[in-house]
Amino acid sequence: MKYVEKAPHVDPVRMRHITDEALLAELGVTSIAEARPWRRPDPAWDGPATIEEADALIGAEVDFLDKGRGRSRLYGFHYLRWMTPLVHAYRETGDARYAAEWDRLFRQWYGTRDQVEGDWPGLDVIWYSLGVWARSMHVTRAMAELADEPALSDECWAMMMKTVLGGARWSAEEHDEFRHGNWQFVCAAELLHVATLFPELPEAPRWAEIGRARVLEHLELDVRADGGHHERSPGYHGMVLDAVHRVLALDPSFAEHPRVRAMHSWFASLVTSGGWIPHLQDSGVVWPAGALRRGAELGVRPEPGSHLLDASGYAIFRAGHLHTVINYGPYVGHELEPHSHHAALDFVLSGWGVPLAWEAGGPPSYDDPGYYDWYQATRGHNTILVPGEEYTEDRKAGLDLFHAGQHVDVFAGHHHGYSARHDRRIVFVRDEPSYWLVTDSIDADAVWQVHGLAPWKPHGSGYVTKNLLVVPLEAPDEVLHGNGPARIPDPATGTAEYGEIHSLGLRRADGRFTVALVPFTDDPPAVHLATVPPLASPQETSVPDHLRVAIGGIVDTVSASTWARADVREGWAADG
């Protein structure tokens, strides 16, 4: 590979001290000074790693060409993140066995890397943006931690050096102009990092110029005005924000860029009382405490209460322990496969630090057999399904109304993902007893769907799951049940392992639904919905003229533009 074999003609190169003339000739230099790569805190290495994980790698036989890992996982395997527990273990124990094992595995990888073949058309397993980015992060940290360890051979050190420099040369050539997406964003940030590590290289100034230019372009063009990354996924937002933090450690002046601050505020808007962010789009559950701390250090003050992330297409309701995210944003393309899901006007609800109404979220791997028909599919989300119709990507979702009030918050929106337009209004009553009142209309035989953390059981005129009661205004024509996997956040452990979520589907031939969702901690309350007075012609409007919601001894009246309880009343502009 030309990017590996092209050697730097410079004296000195920042490396450990090497006297082997054959290695010096291979690198194209006459001498190498003793020095170490960057040792500053690195967000990419903040994750947990255990001695047990490192011990499991000792003596392990690895087939680097094994396509049985899966079409996408083969690429991720060659990021080499799975080897990093060896470096963590060496840092913790000083045991030379871990350095020797890194040496063995890395030399094996280096010797076979050009033989690896992937199944994504036109995408090389080794020479593509995410692989180059990730390996550079992991290898430079290994160089820093293992620099003084004799168990790491000079031969392996030279291979690591060539891997990093070859990746930088490839990145500078590949990313000579801006394009959207997390791939280029993180790769450009790492190119700037490598240029800073090795300033003696004649290529370093050009690498720094390209890396800096691309990062600035991404802050301007790939980060939305509200701070959200272009792809609208919290997981990928966190990935590019980690890359920004690496850049900030190199050049603190980036902290003055308004989009850097906005990126931290975006996370703060989405975080729940449990300390996690929902797995929207192709995301995992995100635990953003570190990012939020760094945001606070930059002077970021998150917007309190209910508000819009309008550029990203998310509405946020927040009151006490209850948190709501409503998705009304676009389907976003990608240079390989989009991370957007086939759903709009879907919502996730949480309370007391745990999910109430949940969704499928992102998959464990993009090779997962359920990726397309569960995780990405409409049926994995809390929205309307039209049986027999395919959901279109160009859904043209839009916001019709947003009201953040003292007693109630209101969202209304629409989308064209089906042949008929779907309209949804969500009224969130902030005053206790709090609840959500969801009204939907679509000219189709449709299924109103929500997912809970436990199987649904009948309760009065509604249905109950863990900590959530769902009560429809009118009985459905059919009740449907299902289930599927999803990550379930656990605030006590700060983890989100895969569990099972359970779907409740209410089918109506007229496509008209009015449903109350009532959270509870102990026993579900008695809830009753009724129209007052009865509608003369239900077809005339998608929102009942006046709806009475009785929860225990509390009675609310909700119309198209008002909410009232006893002597308290709040209004909003009626949506169109």
Whether residue 325 lies inside any domain: the answer is: yes
Question: Comparing 47 with 43, which gets the higher pLDDT?
Answer: 47
The predicted structure's pLDDT at residue 339: 87
Lowest pLDDT segment from 37-41, 239-243, 452-456: 37-41
174 and 316 part of one domain: no
Domain harbouring 418, CATH code? 2.70.98.70
Sheet holding 527-531, edge to edge: 527-531, 546-551, 554-559, 562-565, 568-571
The predicted structure's pLDDT at residue 30: 47
Q: Single out the residue of 295, 232, 219, 229 nearest to residue 258, CA to CA.
A: 219
Query: Domain limits at 501?
Result: 309-523
Would you say 252 and 246 are in contact if contact means Cβ atoms under 8 Å apart? Answer: no
Mean pLDDT, residues 235-239 = 96
Q: To 10 degrees, the CA torsion angle through 248, 251, 255, 256?
A: -170
Is 31's pLDDT higher than 50?
Answer: no
AA letter at 314: Y
171 and 313 part of one domain: no
Is 41's pLDDT higher than 70?
Answer: no
What pLDDT, in 10s, does the model give residues 103-130?
Answer: 999 999 999 999 999 998 889 999 999 9
Whether residue 220 lies inside any domain: the answer is: no
Mean pLDDT, residues 25-50 = 47
Is 537's pLDDT higher than 90?
Answer: no
173 and 314 part of one domain: no
Is 230's pLDDT higher than 50?
Answer: yes
Q: Which structure tokens are listed for 343?
A: 């759903």
The predicted structure's pLDDT at residue 570: 96
Length in residues, the chain: 576
Rounded to the nearest 5 percent, the helix, strand and coil shares of the chain are: 35, 25, 40
Residue 307 pLDDT grade (very low, low, confident, very high; cuts 50, 70, 90): very high
Taking the CA of residue 272 as centre, how many other CA atoms within 13 Å lie in the half-sphere pointing to its CB?
A: 27
Is 9's pLDDT higher than 50?
Answer: no
Cα distances (angstroms) measured from residue 539 to each of 360, 487, 512, 535, 575 = 33, 40, 9, 9, 17
Segment (H or E) for 488: strand 478-490
AA letter at 319: A
Question: Comparing 313 with 121, which gets the higher pLDDT?
Answer: 313
Lowest pLDDT segment from 39-43, 229-233, 311-315, 524-528: 39-43
Is 510's pLDDT higher than 60?
Answer: yes
326 and 471 part of one domain: yes
The predicted structure's pLDDT at residue 13: 35
User: Whole-prediction pTM value?
Assistant: 0.90
Is 147's pLDDT higher than 80?
Answer: yes
What pLDDT, in 10s, does the model give residues 61-75?
Answer: 999 999 999 899 999
The predicted structure's pLDDT at residue 489: 97
Mean pLDDT, residues 508-521 = 97
* Residue after which a domain boundary falls, among 497, 523, 549: 523
Residue 199 pLDDT grade (very low, low, confident, very high; cuts 50, 70, 90): confident
Question: Comparing 460 with 28, which gets the higher pLDDT?
Answer: 460
The predicted structure's pLDDT at residue 335: 66
Number of domains the chain is built from: 2
Q: How many beta carbons lie within 10 A of that of residue 293, not counting itself?
A: 10
* Residue after which a domain boundary falls, among 156, 178, 200: 178
What pLDDT, in 10s, does the model give residues 358-380?
Answer: 999 999 999 999 999 999 999 99
Whether residue 56 lies inside any domain: the answer is: yes
Is 161's pLDDT higher than 80?
Answer: yes
316 and 168 part of one domain: no
**Residue 452's Cα: distance from chain center in Å?**
21
Whether residue 529 lies inside any domain: the answer is: no
Q: Single out the residue of 126, 204, 137, 201 nearest to residue 164, CA to CA.
A: 137
Whether residue 158 lies inside any domain: the answer is: yes
Mean pLDDT, residues 521-544 = 72
Give the chain's end-to-end CA distance (angstroms, integer). 60
Is 38's pLDDT higher than 50?
Answer: no
Whether residue 278 lies inside any domain: the answer is: no
What pLDDT, in 10s, does the model give residues 260-276?
Answer: 999 999 999 999 999 99
Is 10's pLDDT higher than 50?
Answer: no
* Residue after which a domain boundary falls, among 178, 199, 225: 178
Quote the CA–CA distance of 518 and 204 in Å, as a whole number: 59
The predicted structure's pLDDT at residue 478: 98
The predicted structure's pLDDT at residue 8: 39
Is 543's pLDDT higher than 90?
Answer: no
The predicted structure's pLDDT at residue 353: 92
AA letter at 247: V
Is 23's pLDDT higher than 60?
Answer: no
368 and 507 part of one domain: yes
The predicted structure's pLDDT at residue 575: 62
The predicted structure's pLDDT at residue 40: 40
Q: How many beta carbons lie within 10 A of that of residue 573, not counting itself?
A: 11
The predicted structure's pLDDT at residue 25: 57
Cα distances (angstroms) measured from residue 107 to each of 63, 100, 308, 322 = 13, 11, 51, 52
Task: Calculate what percentage of the chain has a pLDDT beyond 90.
Answer: 78
The predicted structure's pLDDT at residue 507: 98
The predicted structure's pLDDT at residue 542: 47
Is 3's pLDDT higher than 90?
Answer: no
Quote the CA–CA distance of 531 and 557 in Å, as a whole number: 9
Q: Number of helices and strands (H, E) in the chain? A: 13, 24
Quote the CA–CA distance of 278 and 282 in Å, as a whole number: 11
Whether residue 6 lies inside any domain: the answer is: yes
Rounded to the nearest integer, the mean pLDDT of the chain is 89
Q: Which structure tokens are listed for 126?
A: 């080794």
AA letter at 481: H
Whether residue 319 lies inside any domain: the answer is: yes
